[in-house]
Chain A
Amino acid sequence: MEDKIIKQISLFAENKPGRLANIARNFSKAGINIRAFTIAEAGDFGIIRMVVDRPDHAHDVLHDAGFTVSETNVLGVEMEDVPGGLGRIADVLGEKNINIDYAYAFVTKTEKALLILRVNDIEAAVKVLQDAGVKLIDMADIQQI
Protein backbone atom coordinates (compact mmCIF):
# COMPACT_ATOMS: atom_id res chain seq x y z
CA MET A 1 0.00 0.00 0.00
CA GLU A 2 2.88 2.34 0.94
CA ASP A 3 4.19 2.41 -2.60
CA LYS A 4 0.95 3.90 -3.88
CA ILE A 5 1.60 7.06 -1.91
CA ILE A 6 3.12 10.06 -3.64
CA LYS A 7 5.24 12.62 -1.85
CA GLN A 8 4.17 16.11 -2.74
CA ILE A 9 6.30 19.17 -2.00
CA SER A 10 4.40 21.98 -0.28
CA LEU A 11 5.89 25.32 0.42
CA PHE A 12 4.87 28.59 1.96
CA ALA A 13 5.30 31.69 -0.17
CA GLU A 14 4.35 35.29 0.29
CA ASN A 15 2.20 36.63 -2.46
CA LYS A 16 4.76 38.87 -4.10
CA PRO A 17 6.67 39.08 -7.36
CA GLY A 18 9.66 36.86 -7.96
CA ARG A 19 8.81 34.03 -5.58
CA LEU A 20 7.99 31.51 -8.27
CA ALA A 21 11.00 32.47 -10.35
CA ASN A 22 13.20 31.83 -7.34
CA ILE A 23 11.82 28.33 -6.89
CA ALA A 24 12.18 27.56 -10.57
CA ARG A 25 15.78 28.77 -10.52
CA ASN A 26 16.63 26.49 -7.59
CA PHE A 27 15.03 23.48 -9.30
CA SER A 28 16.69 24.17 -12.60
CA LYS A 29 20.10 24.37 -10.92
CA ALA A 30 19.45 21.06 -9.12
CA GLY A 31 18.03 19.35 -12.21
CA ILE A 32 14.64 18.67 -10.67
CA ASN A 33 11.61 18.27 -12.92
CA ILE A 34 8.17 19.48 -11.93
CA ARG A 35 5.39 17.09 -12.96
CA ALA A 36 2.37 18.83 -11.52
CA PHE A 37 1.96 22.17 -9.91
CA THR A 38 -0.69 24.31 -8.23
CA ILE A 39 -0.93 27.39 -6.05
CA ALA A 40 -3.51 27.75 -3.32
CA GLU A 41 -3.75 31.47 -2.85
CA ALA A 42 -5.08 33.16 0.27
CA GLY A 43 -4.56 36.91 0.19
CA ASP A 44 -1.09 37.74 1.48
CA PHE A 45 0.30 34.27 1.12
CA GLY A 46 -0.01 31.16 -0.94
CA ILE A 47 0.85 27.51 -0.66
CA ILE A 48 2.65 26.11 -3.64
CA ARG A 49 2.13 22.40 -4.15
CA MET A 50 4.21 20.38 -6.55
CA VAL A 51 4.76 16.83 -7.62
CA VAL A 52 8.36 16.47 -8.74
CA ASP A 53 10.51 13.60 -9.94
CA ARG A 54 12.80 13.62 -6.86
CA PRO A 55 10.84 14.92 -3.87
CA ASP A 56 13.43 14.30 -1.13
CA HIS A 57 16.10 16.13 -3.06
CA ALA A 58 13.69 18.93 -3.94
CA HIS A 59 12.81 19.27 -0.25
CA ASP A 60 16.48 19.67 0.71
CA VAL A 61 17.17 22.13 -2.08
CA LEU A 62 14.29 24.38 -1.09
CA HIS A 63 14.95 24.05 2.63
CA ASP A 64 18.58 25.05 2.16
CA ALA A 65 17.45 28.01 0.09
CA GLY A 66 15.54 29.20 3.15
CA PHE A 67 11.99 28.16 2.24
CA THR A 68 9.52 26.73 4.69
CA VAL A 69 8.77 23.47 2.96
CA SER A 70 7.23 20.13 3.80
CA GLU A 71 6.54 16.81 2.15
CA THR A 72 2.91 15.78 2.15
CA ASN A 73 1.52 12.36 1.31
CA VAL A 74 -0.99 12.50 -1.51
CA LEU A 75 -2.56 10.10 -3.97
CA GLY A 76 -2.15 10.09 -7.72
CA VAL A 77 -5.17 8.72 -9.54
CA GLU A 78 -5.09 7.86 -13.20
CA MET A 79 -8.34 8.74 -14.91
CA GLU A 80 -9.64 8.01 -18.34
CA ASP A 81 -9.91 11.41 -19.97
CA VAL A 82 -13.66 11.01 -20.50
CA PRO A 83 -16.74 12.60 -18.92
CA GLY A 84 -17.67 11.14 -15.54
CA GLY A 85 -14.15 10.09 -14.55
CA LEU A 86 -13.83 12.53 -11.66
CA GLY A 87 -17.38 11.96 -10.44
CA ARG A 88 -16.76 8.29 -10.00
CA ILE A 89 -13.73 8.79 -7.81
CA ALA A 90 -15.50 11.38 -5.67
CA ASP A 91 -18.45 9.00 -5.24
CA VAL A 92 -16.26 6.11 -4.14
CA LEU A 93 -14.53 8.21 -1.50
CA GLY A 94 -17.73 9.92 -0.40
CA GLU A 95 -19.46 6.62 0.24
CA LYS A 96 -16.73 5.67 2.70
CA ASN A 97 -16.84 9.09 4.34
CA ILE A 98 -13.35 10.04 3.21
CA ASN A 99 -12.94 13.76 2.77
CA ILE A 100 -10.94 15.36 -0.05
CA ASP A 101 -8.89 18.21 1.40
CA TYR A 102 -7.85 19.42 -2.01
CA ALA A 103 -7.25 18.11 -5.52
CA TYR A 104 -5.68 19.21 -8.74
CA ALA A 105 -5.31 17.55 -12.10
CA PHE A 106 -3.02 17.54 -15.08
CA VAL A 107 -2.83 15.72 -18.38
CA THR A 108 0.17 13.54 -19.20
CA LYS A 109 1.97 13.03 -22.49
CA THR A 110 0.11 9.74 -22.88
CA GLU A 111 -3.15 11.69 -22.77
CA LYS A 112 -4.30 10.33 -19.50
CA ALA A 113 -5.60 12.68 -16.87
CA LEU A 114 -3.83 12.47 -13.56
CA LEU A 115 -5.55 13.63 -10.40
CA ILE A 116 -3.57 14.52 -7.29
CA LEU A 117 -5.63 14.15 -4.11
CA ARG A 118 -5.03 14.95 -0.49
CA VAL A 119 -7.52 13.15 1.70
CA ASN A 120 -8.10 12.98 5.43
CA ASP A 121 -7.42 9.23 5.62
CA ILE A 122 -4.93 8.22 2.99
CA GLU A 123 -4.67 4.52 3.85
CA ALA A 124 -8.42 4.01 3.77
CA ALA A 125 -8.57 5.91 0.49
CA VAL A 126 -5.95 3.67 -1.13
CA LYS A 127 -7.95 0.64 -0.13
CA VAL A 128 -11.36 1.80 -1.33
CA LEU A 129 -10.02 3.17 -4.59
CA GLN A 130 -8.16 -0.04 -5.37
CA ASP A 131 -11.20 -2.11 -4.42
CA ALA A 132 -13.20 -0.03 -6.89
CA GLY A 133 -10.65 -0.78 -9.59
CA VAL A 134 -9.22 2.73 -9.78
CA LYS A 135 -5.61 2.84 -10.88
CA LEU A 136 -3.25 4.58 -8.46
CA ILE A 137 0.16 5.63 -9.63
CA ASP A 138 3.35 5.52 -7.58
CA MET A 139 6.63 7.46 -7.44
CA ALA A 140 8.14 5.27 -10.17
CA ASP A 141 5.30 6.24 -12.50
CA ILE A 142 5.85 9.90 -11.66
CA GLN A 143 9.49 9.66 -12.61
CA GLN A 144 8.58 8.17 -15.98
CA ILE A 145 5.89 10.64 -16.97
Chain B
Amino acid sequence: MIDYWNPLIERMPVEELEKMQEEKLKHLVNYVYQHSDFYRKRFDDAGVAPGDIQTLDDLKKLPFTYKSDLRDTYPTGMFCVPNEQLVRFHVSSGTTGKPTVVGYTKNDIDGWTTSLARAMTSIGVGRGDIIQVGYGYGLFTGGLGAHYGAEEIGATVLPTSSGNTERQIELMQDLRSTVIACTPSYFLFMNEVASKANVSIRNDTDLRVGIFGAEPWSEEMRARIEEATGIKAYDIYGTSELSGPLFTECQYQDGIHIWADQFLIEVIDPETGEQLKDGERGELVITTLFKEALPLVRYRIGDITVINRQPCRCGRTHPRIMRVLGRADDMLIIRGINVFPGQIESVLMNIPEVGEHFMIVVDRVDELDVMTVQIEMTDQAFSDKVNDIIALEKRVGSALKNVLNISVRVELVESGTIPRSMGKARRVTDNRKL
Protein backbone atom coordinates (compact mmCIF):
# COMPACT_ATOMS: atom_id res chain seq x y z
CA MET B 1 0.00 0.00 0.00
CA ILE B 2 1.27 3.45 -0.95
CA ASP B 3 0.70 6.41 1.34
CA TYR B 4 0.27 9.96 0.11
CA TRP B 5 0.36 13.14 2.11
CA ASN B 6 -1.95 14.88 -0.36
CA PRO B 7 -3.20 12.29 -2.86
CA LEU B 8 -5.31 14.82 -4.76
CA ILE B 9 -2.28 16.96 -5.62
CA GLU B 10 0.31 14.20 -5.81
CA ARG B 11 -1.74 12.12 -8.28
CA MET B 12 -3.28 15.02 -10.18
CA PRO B 13 -3.42 14.45 -13.94
CA VAL B 14 -0.50 16.17 -15.68
CA GLU B 15 -2.74 18.49 -17.74
CA GLU B 16 -4.37 19.81 -14.59
CA LEU B 17 -1.02 20.26 -12.92
CA GLU B 18 0.26 22.20 -15.88
CA LYS B 19 -2.83 24.40 -15.89
CA MET B 20 -2.14 25.11 -12.24
CA GLN B 21 1.50 25.88 -12.99
CA GLU B 22 0.51 28.26 -15.75
CA GLU B 23 -1.76 30.26 -13.45
CA LYS B 24 0.89 30.37 -10.75
CA LEU B 25 3.58 31.41 -13.21
CA LYS B 26 1.47 34.32 -14.47
CA HIS B 27 0.88 35.40 -10.91
CA LEU B 28 4.59 35.06 -10.09
CA VAL B 29 5.85 37.29 -12.89
CA ASN B 30 3.38 40.02 -11.95
CA TYR B 31 4.24 39.63 -8.28
CA VAL B 32 8.01 39.92 -8.68
CA TYR B 33 7.69 42.74 -11.18
CA GLN B 34 5.63 44.73 -8.70
CA HIS B 35 7.51 43.87 -5.52
CA SER B 36 11.16 43.70 -6.49
CA ASP B 37 13.31 46.40 -8.03
CA PHE B 38 15.77 43.70 -8.91
CA TYR B 39 13.33 41.68 -11.01
CA ARG B 40 11.72 44.75 -12.57
CA LYS B 41 15.10 45.87 -13.85
CA ARG B 42 16.07 42.37 -14.90
CA PHE B 43 12.84 41.96 -16.91
CA ASP B 44 13.10 45.45 -18.41
CA ASP B 45 16.70 44.83 -19.47
CA ALA B 46 15.61 41.59 -21.13
CA GLY B 47 12.74 43.41 -22.85
CA VAL B 48 10.09 41.18 -21.34
CA ALA B 49 6.95 42.37 -19.56
CA PRO B 50 4.76 40.29 -17.22
CA GLY B 51 1.99 40.37 -19.85
CA ASP B 52 4.25 38.48 -22.28
CA ILE B 53 4.00 35.40 -20.10
CA GLN B 54 0.72 33.64 -20.84
CA THR B 55 1.64 29.96 -21.14
CA LEU B 56 4.28 27.61 -19.75
CA ASP B 57 5.97 27.79 -23.11
CA ASP B 58 6.57 31.50 -22.51
CA LEU B 59 8.83 30.63 -19.59
CA LYS B 60 11.82 30.60 -21.90
CA LYS B 61 11.36 34.32 -22.60
CA LEU B 62 12.22 35.13 -18.99
CA PRO B 63 15.78 36.01 -17.94
CA PHE B 64 17.70 33.67 -15.62
CA THR B 65 18.53 34.34 -11.98
CA TYR B 66 21.92 33.32 -10.59
CA LYS B 67 23.44 32.61 -7.23
CA SER B 68 25.67 35.62 -7.87
CA ASP B 69 22.52 37.80 -7.92
CA LEU B 70 21.86 36.81 -4.33
CA ARG B 71 25.41 37.68 -3.39
CA ASP B 72 25.37 40.96 -5.30
CA THR B 73 22.18 42.04 -3.53
CA TYR B 74 23.38 40.84 -0.11
CA PRO B 75 21.76 40.73 2.34
CA THR B 76 18.09 41.26 1.38
CA GLY B 77 18.15 43.19 -1.89
CA MET B 78 16.07 40.60 -3.77
CA PHE B 79 13.37 40.18 -1.15
CA CYS B 80 9.80 40.94 -2.24
CA VAL B 81 8.36 41.63 1.21
CA PRO B 82 9.33 44.07 3.95
CA ASN B 83 11.25 42.56 6.85
CA GLU B 84 8.31 42.66 9.25
CA GLN B 85 6.57 39.98 7.17
CA LEU B 86 9.46 37.59 7.64
CA VAL B 87 9.31 34.89 10.28
CA ARG B 88 12.82 33.56 9.75
CA PHE B 89 16.21 34.00 8.11
CA HIS B 90 18.65 31.30 7.09
CA VAL B 91 22.16 32.10 5.96
CA SER B 92 24.33 29.88 3.77
CA SER B 93 27.84 29.13 4.89
CA GLY B 94 29.45 31.13 2.12
CA THR B 95 32.24 28.64 1.51
CA THR B 96 32.58 29.85 -2.07
CA GLY B 97 32.37 33.56 -1.34
CA LYS B 98 29.93 35.89 0.32
CA PRO B 99 27.14 34.14 2.21
CA THR B 100 23.59 34.29 0.89
CA VAL B 101 20.61 35.19 3.02
CA VAL B 102 17.19 33.63 2.59
CA GLY B 103 14.08 35.06 4.25
CA TYR B 104 10.78 33.25 4.85
CA THR B 105 7.24 34.43 5.40
CA LYS B 106 4.85 32.21 7.35
CA ASN B 107 3.51 30.88 4.04
CA ASP B 108 7.04 30.19 2.81
CA ILE B 109 7.73 28.03 5.84
CA ASP B 110 4.38 26.26 5.37
CA GLY B 111 5.13 25.53 1.71
CA TRP B 112 8.57 24.19 2.57
CA THR B 113 7.11 22.03 5.33
CA THR B 114 4.42 20.70 2.98
CA SER B 115 7.04 19.71 0.43
CA LEU B 116 8.94 17.72 3.04
CA ALA B 117 5.78 16.20 4.52
CA ARG B 118 4.92 14.79 1.09
CA ALA B 119 8.50 13.62 0.60
CA MET B 120 8.76 11.88 3.95
CA THR B 121 5.38 10.21 3.45
CA SER B 122 6.56 8.98 0.04
CA ILE B 123 9.34 6.96 1.69
CA GLY B 124 6.95 5.39 4.15
CA VAL B 125 7.80 7.54 7.14
CA GLY B 126 5.03 8.87 9.36
CA ARG B 127 3.30 8.73 12.72
CA GLY B 128 5.03 6.25 15.00
CA ASP B 129 8.44 6.95 13.53
CA ILE B 130 11.14 8.53 15.62
CA ILE B 131 13.17 10.78 13.40
CA GLN B 132 16.63 11.64 14.63
CA VAL B 133 17.58 14.90 12.96
CA GLY B 134 21.36 14.95 12.75
CA TYR B 135 21.53 17.88 10.34
CA GLY B 136 22.85 21.03 11.93
CA TYR B 137 20.26 23.31 13.49
CA GLY B 138 20.80 27.02 13.13
CA LEU B 139 21.67 29.16 10.15
CA PHE B 140 21.92 26.01 8.02
CA THR B 141 18.51 24.94 6.65
CA GLY B 142 18.94 21.19 7.12
CA GLY B 143 18.07 20.82 10.80
CA LEU B 144 15.01 23.04 11.06
CA GLY B 145 13.76 21.98 7.62
CA ALA B 146 13.73 18.27 8.45
CA HIS B 147 12.39 19.09 11.91
CA TYR B 148 9.31 20.91 10.62
CA GLY B 149 8.61 18.26 8.00
CA ALA B 150 8.87 15.48 10.57
CA GLU B 151 6.53 17.19 13.01
CA GLU B 152 4.06 17.91 10.24
CA ILE B 153 3.61 14.22 9.44
CA GLY B 154 3.11 13.39 13.10
CA ALA B 155 6.43 11.66 13.63
CA THR B 156 8.43 12.19 16.81
CA VAL B 157 11.51 14.33 16.39
CA LEU B 158 14.75 13.70 18.20
CA PRO B 159 16.61 16.95 17.45
CA THR B 160 20.19 15.85 18.05
CA SER B 161 21.64 18.26 15.47
CA SER B 162 25.12 17.31 14.26
CA GLY B 163 28.08 16.40 16.43
CA ASN B 164 28.54 14.60 19.74
CA THR B 165 28.54 11.31 17.92
CA GLU B 166 28.76 8.92 20.89
CA ARG B 167 25.65 10.55 22.33
CA GLN B 168 23.87 10.29 18.96
CA ILE B 169 24.42 6.54 19.04
CA GLU B 170 23.42 6.22 22.67
CA LEU B 171 20.17 8.12 22.07
CA MET B 172 19.54 6.20 18.87
CA GLN B 173 19.54 3.03 20.96
CA ASP B 174 17.76 4.34 24.06
CA LEU B 175 14.94 6.21 22.30
CA ARG B 176 14.71 3.67 19.45
CA SER B 177 15.13 6.06 16.51
CA THR B 178 13.69 4.55 13.33
CA VAL B 179 14.82 7.25 10.92
CA ILE B 180 18.05 9.22 10.71
CA ALA B 181 18.37 12.44 8.74
CA CYS B 182 21.92 13.71 8.21
CA THR B 183 24.64 13.92 5.60
CA PRO B 184 25.66 10.52 4.23
CA SER B 185 29.25 11.16 5.28
CA TYR B 186 28.15 11.86 8.83
CA PHE B 187 26.13 8.68 8.92
CA LEU B 188 29.18 6.70 7.80
CA PHE B 189 31.14 8.31 10.59
CA MET B 190 28.39 7.39 13.09
CA ASN B 191 28.59 3.82 11.87
CA GLU B 192 32.34 3.85 12.37
CA VAL B 193 32.04 5.22 15.90
CA ALA B 194 29.27 2.72 16.68
CA SER B 195 31.39 -0.21 15.48
CA LYS B 196 34.28 0.87 17.67
CA ALA B 197 31.90 0.82 20.64
CA ASN B 198 30.70 -2.63 19.54
CA VAL B 199 27.28 -1.30 18.59
CA SER B 200 25.80 -2.69 15.39
CA ILE B 201 23.35 -0.30 13.76
CA ARG B 202 21.78 -3.31 12.05
CA ASN B 203 21.29 -5.41 15.17
CA ASP B 204 21.33 -3.05 18.12
CA THR B 205 19.09 -0.23 16.88
CA ASP B 206 15.63 0.10 15.27
CA LEU B 207 16.94 2.32 12.52
CA ARG B 208 15.28 1.44 9.20
CA VAL B 209 15.45 4.57 7.03
CA GLY B 210 18.10 7.20 6.32
CA ILE B 211 17.31 10.55 4.71
CA PHE B 212 20.65 11.63 3.35
CA GLY B 213 21.62 14.79 1.54
CA ALA B 214 23.18 18.26 1.75
CA GLU B 215 26.10 16.85 -0.21
CA PRO B 216 26.25 14.85 -3.41
CA TRP B 217 26.52 11.09 -2.98
CA SER B 218 26.49 8.22 -5.39
CA GLU B 219 24.42 5.13 -6.06
CA GLU B 220 27.48 3.08 -5.10
CA MET B 221 27.63 4.84 -1.74
CA ARG B 222 23.95 3.99 -1.25
CA ALA B 223 24.73 0.33 -1.79
CA ARG B 224 27.56 0.52 0.72
CA ILE B 225 25.41 2.20 3.38
CA GLU B 226 22.47 -0.15 2.92
CA GLU B 227 24.69 -3.21 3.02
CA ALA B 228 26.68 -2.07 6.04
CA THR B 229 23.76 -1.01 8.22
CA GLY B 230 20.64 -2.74 6.88
CA ILE B 231 18.69 0.50 6.46
CA LYS B 232 17.06 1.93 3.34
CA ALA B 233 18.95 5.04 2.26
CA TYR B 234 17.06 7.82 0.46
CA ASP B 235 18.41 10.87 -1.29
CA ILE B 236 17.05 14.27 -0.24
CA TYR B 237 17.56 17.27 -2.47
CA GLY B 238 17.27 21.01 -2.25
CA THR B 239 19.24 24.14 -1.62
CA SER B 240 18.89 27.01 0.82
CA GLU B 241 18.00 29.51 -1.92
CA LEU B 242 14.89 27.46 -2.72
CA SER B 243 14.06 27.01 1.02
CA GLY B 244 16.35 24.19 2.12
CA PRO B 245 16.03 20.41 1.74
CA LEU B 246 12.77 19.90 -0.17
CA PHE B 247 12.49 16.74 -2.23
CA THR B 248 13.28 13.05 -1.90
CA GLU B 249 12.95 9.93 -3.92
CA CYS B 250 9.88 7.83 -3.23
CA GLN B 251 10.06 4.27 -1.95
CA TYR B 252 11.11 3.07 -5.43
CA GLN B 253 14.37 5.06 -5.27
CA ASP B 254 13.97 5.98 -8.92
CA GLY B 255 14.54 9.72 -9.20
CA ILE B 256 13.63 12.67 -7.02
CA HIS B 257 10.04 13.92 -7.18
CA ILE B 258 9.80 17.67 -7.69
CA TRP B 259 6.38 18.98 -6.62
CA ALA B 260 5.02 20.64 -9.73
CA ASP B 261 2.44 22.75 -7.93
CA GLN B 262 5.29 24.37 -6.01
CA PHE B 263 8.17 24.43 -8.47
CA LEU B 264 8.58 24.63 -12.21
CA ILE B 265 11.62 22.83 -13.58
CA GLU B 266 13.39 22.85 -16.92
CA VAL B 267 16.75 21.65 -18.17
CA ILE B 268 18.92 23.88 -20.34
CA ASP B 269 22.14 23.75 -22.26
CA PRO B 270 24.52 25.49 -19.83
CA GLU B 271 26.45 27.10 -22.69
CA THR B 272 23.62 28.51 -24.81
CA GLY B 273 20.84 28.73 -22.23
CA GLU B 274 18.46 26.95 -24.65
CA GLN B 275 15.83 24.65 -23.19
CA LEU B 276 16.53 20.97 -23.73
CA LYS B 277 14.01 18.20 -24.28
CA ASP B 278 12.93 15.92 -21.47
CA GLY B 279 15.40 13.10 -21.13
CA GLU B 280 18.34 15.24 -22.26
CA ARG B 281 21.08 15.93 -19.77
CA GLY B 282 21.61 19.56 -18.91
CA GLU B 283 21.60 22.19 -16.22
CA LEU B 284 18.57 22.27 -13.96
CA VAL B 285 16.65 25.56 -13.77
CA ILE B 286 13.99 26.01 -11.10
CA THR B 287 11.22 28.59 -10.75
CA THR B 288 9.46 28.84 -7.40
CA LEU B 289 5.66 28.99 -7.55
CA PHE B 290 4.71 29.59 -3.93
CA LYS B 291 7.42 31.64 -2.33
CA GLU B 292 6.64 35.18 -1.16
CA ALA B 293 9.77 36.56 0.45
CA LEU B 294 12.39 35.37 -2.02
CA PRO B 295 10.74 33.98 -5.15
CA LEU B 296 13.20 32.82 -7.76
CA VAL B 297 12.53 33.05 -11.48
CA ARG B 298 14.46 30.60 -13.65
CA TYR B 299 17.07 30.08 -10.97
CA ARG B 300 20.26 28.40 -12.20
CA ILE B 301 20.97 26.09 -9.34
CA GLY B 302 23.96 24.71 -11.24
CA ASP B 303 23.14 21.00 -10.99
CA ILE B 304 23.46 18.76 -14.00
CA THR B 305 20.59 16.30 -14.37
CA VAL B 306 17.88 14.81 -16.58
CA ILE B 307 14.12 15.34 -16.21
CA ASN B 308 11.81 12.35 -16.37
CA ARG B 309 8.12 13.21 -16.75
CA GLN B 310 6.87 9.65 -17.00
CA PRO B 311 4.45 8.82 -14.18
CA CYS B 312 6.20 6.97 -11.39
CA ARG B 313 5.30 3.48 -10.20
CA CYS B 314 4.23 5.11 -6.93
CA GLY B 315 1.36 6.82 -8.76
CA ARG B 316 2.70 10.33 -8.42
CA THR B 317 2.42 12.41 -11.56
CA HIS B 318 4.99 15.05 -10.68
CA PRO B 319 8.24 15.11 -12.67
CA ARG B 320 11.39 13.49 -11.38
CA ILE B 321 15.03 14.45 -11.74
CA MET B 322 17.85 11.98 -11.92
CA ARG B 323 20.24 11.74 -9.01
CA VAL B 324 22.54 14.75 -8.98
CA LEU B 325 26.20 13.87 -8.78
CA GLY B 326 27.49 17.35 -8.24
CA ARG B 327 26.76 21.02 -8.29
CA ALA B 328 28.60 23.30 -10.69
CA ASP B 329 30.18 24.94 -7.62
CA ASP B 330 31.85 21.64 -6.75
CA MET B 331 33.24 21.03 -10.20
CA LEU B 332 36.99 20.95 -10.54
CA ILE B 333 38.75 21.81 -13.75
CA ILE B 334 41.85 19.67 -14.01
CA ARG B 335 44.00 20.32 -17.05
CA GLY B 336 40.92 21.67 -18.79
CA ILE B 337 38.75 18.66 -17.98
CA ASN B 338 35.67 18.93 -15.78
CA VAL B 339 35.72 16.62 -12.80
CA PHE B 340 33.00 16.19 -10.19
CA PRO B 341 33.92 14.75 -6.80
CA GLY B 342 30.79 12.60 -7.18
CA GLN B 343 32.29 10.81 -10.17
CA ILE B 344 35.33 9.95 -8.10
CA GLU B 345 33.17 8.68 -5.25
CA SER B 346 31.22 6.56 -7.66
CA VAL B 347 34.38 4.89 -9.00
CA LEU B 348 35.93 4.36 -5.57
CA MET B 349 32.81 2.83 -4.04
CA ASN B 350 32.80 0.22 -6.78
CA ILE B 351 36.13 -1.12 -5.59
CA PRO B 352 35.51 -3.30 -2.52
CA GLU B 353 38.98 -2.80 -1.02
CA VAL B 354 38.49 0.96 -0.87
CA GLY B 355 36.94 2.42 2.28
CA GLU B 356 34.26 5.11 2.42
CA HIS B 357 36.52 8.06 3.12
CA PHE B 358 38.58 9.85 0.52
CA MET B 359 40.15 13.22 -0.19
CA ILE B 360 40.93 14.88 -3.49
CA VAL B 361 44.04 17.03 -3.46
CA VAL B 362 44.85 19.27 -6.40
CA ASP B 363 48.26 20.86 -6.82
CA ARG B 364 49.99 22.75 -9.56
CA VAL B 365 53.42 21.36 -10.30
CA ASP B 366 55.46 23.02 -13.03
CA GLU B 367 52.38 24.72 -14.51
CA LEU B 368 50.54 21.41 -14.61
CA ASP B 369 47.54 20.39 -12.52
CA VAL B 370 48.14 17.24 -10.54
CA MET B 371 45.21 15.50 -8.92
CA THR B 372 45.85 13.10 -6.07
CA VAL B 373 43.12 10.94 -4.63
CA GLN B 374 43.88 9.82 -1.11
CA ILE B 375 42.16 6.70 0.10
CA GLU B 376 42.51 4.95 3.41
CA MET B 377 44.14 1.59 3.86
CA THR B 378 41.57 -0.85 5.20
CA ASP B 379 42.01 -4.10 7.10
CA GLN B 380 40.63 -6.05 4.16
CA ALA B 381 42.86 -4.36 1.58
CA PHE B 382 46.06 -4.59 3.57
CA SER B 383 48.73 -6.96 2.41
CA ASP B 384 52.18 -7.05 3.87
CA LYS B 385 53.62 -7.30 0.38
CA VAL B 386 54.57 -3.94 -1.12
CA ASN B 387 53.70 -5.09 -4.63
CA ASP B 388 50.13 -5.90 -3.66
CA ILE B 389 49.63 -2.39 -2.34
CA ILE B 390 51.19 -0.80 -5.38
CA ALA B 391 48.96 -2.97 -7.54
CA LEU B 392 45.90 -1.71 -5.65
CA GLU B 393 46.98 1.90 -6.17
CA LYS B 394 47.41 1.21 -9.87
CA ARG B 395 44.05 -0.50 -10.14
CA VAL B 396 42.27 2.42 -8.48
CA GLY B 397 44.24 4.86 -10.65
CA SER B 398 43.25 3.19 -13.88
CA ALA B 399 39.59 2.87 -12.84
CA LEU B 400 39.58 6.64 -12.19
CA LYS B 401 41.34 7.36 -15.44
CA ASN B 402 38.79 5.34 -17.39
CA VAL B 403 35.96 7.50 -16.11
CA LEU B 404 37.63 10.90 -15.80
CA ASN B 405 39.97 10.75 -18.78
CA ILE B 406 42.83 12.21 -16.81
CA SER B 407 45.68 10.64 -14.90
CA VAL B 408 45.19 10.54 -11.19
CA ARG B 409 47.79 9.86 -8.51
CA VAL B 410 46.43 7.47 -5.94
CA GLU B 411 47.86 7.65 -2.47
CA LEU B 412 47.03 5.19 0.27
CA VAL B 413 46.98 6.76 3.70
CA GLU B 414 46.59 5.29 7.17
CA SER B 415 43.08 4.46 8.24
CA GLY B 416 41.30 7.12 10.25
CA THR B 417 43.51 9.95 8.98
CA ILE B 418 41.15 11.51 6.45
CA PRO B 419 39.09 14.10 8.33
CA ARG B 420 35.57 12.91 9.23
CA SER B 421 32.71 15.31 8.79
CA MET B 422 29.65 15.91 10.92
CA GLY B 423 28.05 18.12 8.31
CA LYS B 424 28.85 18.59 4.65
CA ALA B 425 31.95 16.58 3.83
CA ARG B 426 34.85 18.53 2.41
CA ARG B 427 36.32 16.20 -0.14
CA VAL B 428 38.59 18.59 -1.99
CA THR B 429 41.77 20.40 -1.05
CA ASP B 430 42.74 22.67 -3.91
CA ASN B 431 46.25 23.98 -3.40
CA ARG B 432 46.40 25.76 -6.73
CA LYS B 433 46.82 29.49 -6.52
CA LEU B 434 44.74 30.48 -9.49
Contacts and interface: CB of A to CB of B under 8 A. Distances in A.
A49 B415 contact: no
B413 interface: yes
Contact of A14 (B384, B385, B386, B413): B413
A44 B411 contact: yes
B15 to A, nearest CB: 60
A92 interface: no
A68 interface: yes
A72 interface: yes
Main secondary structure of the interface of B (DSSP, over half): loop
A53 B381 CA distance: 26
A47 interface: yes
A68 B390 contact: no
Nearest to A9: B384
B386 A47 contact: yes
A45 interface: yes
Interface residues of A, number: 20
A10 B384 contact: yes
A42 B385 CA distance: 11
Contacts of B413: 14, 45
Contacts, number: 50
Given A12-B377, A68-B379, A40 B414 contact: no
Given A12-B377, A42-B390, A66 B385 contact: no
B386 A42 contact: yes
A12 B414 contact: yes
B154 interface: no
A45 B384 contact: no
B414 to A, nearest CB: 5
B395 to A, nearest CB: 16
A101 B416 CA distance: 29
A66 B196 CA distance: 10
A70 interface: yes
Given A68-B378, A68-B379, A70-B382, A47 B389 contact: yes
B407 interface: no
Nearest to A102: B385
B273 to A, nearest CB: 45
Given A42-B390, A68-B379, A13 B414 contact: yes
Interface residues of B, number: 17
Given A72-B384, A101-B385, A102-B385, A45 B412 contact: yes
Interface in B337-385: 377-379, 382-385
A44 B382 contact: no
Contacts of B417: 14
A14 B416 CA distance: 12
Contact of A49 (B382, B384, B389, B411): B384
Interface in A1-50: 8, 10, 12-14, 40, 42, 44-45, 47, 49
Contacts of B384: 8, 10, 47, 49, 70, 72, 118
A12 B412 contact: yes
Nearest to A48: B384
B382 A68 contact: yes
Nearest to B411: A44
Nearest to B416: A66
A68 B389 CA distance: 13
Interface in B91-112: none
Nearest to A8: B384
Nearest to A65: B416
Given A12-B377, A68-B379, A44 B412 contact: yes
Interface in B275-294: none
Contacts of A68: 377-379, 382, 414-415
A67 interface: yes
Nearest to A10: B384
A12, A49, A69 pick with most chain B CB within 10 angstroms: A12
A55 B326 CA distance: 46
Contacts of B415: 12, 66-68
A130 to B, nearest CB: 24
A5 to B, nearest CB: 15
Contacts of B389: 12, 42, 45, 47
Contacts of A10: 382, 384
A98 to B, nearest CB: 16
Contacts of A42: 386, 389-390
A140 to B, nearest CB: 23
Contacts of A118: 384-385
11 contacts: A12-B389, A44-B412, A45-B389, A47-B384, A67-B414, A68-B377, A68-B382, A68-B415, A69-B382, A102-B385, A118-B385
Given A14-B413, A45-B411, A118-B384, 13 more contacts: A8-B384, A12-B382, A14-B417, A44-B411, A45-B389, A49-B384, A66-B414, A66-B415, A67-B414, A68-B378, A68-B414, A70-B379, A70-B383
- Of all A-B residue pairs in the complex, the 10 with the closest CB atoms, nearest first, are A10-B384, A12-B377, A68-B377, A42-B386, A66-B416, A68-B382, A72-B384, A40-B386, A68-B415, A44-B411
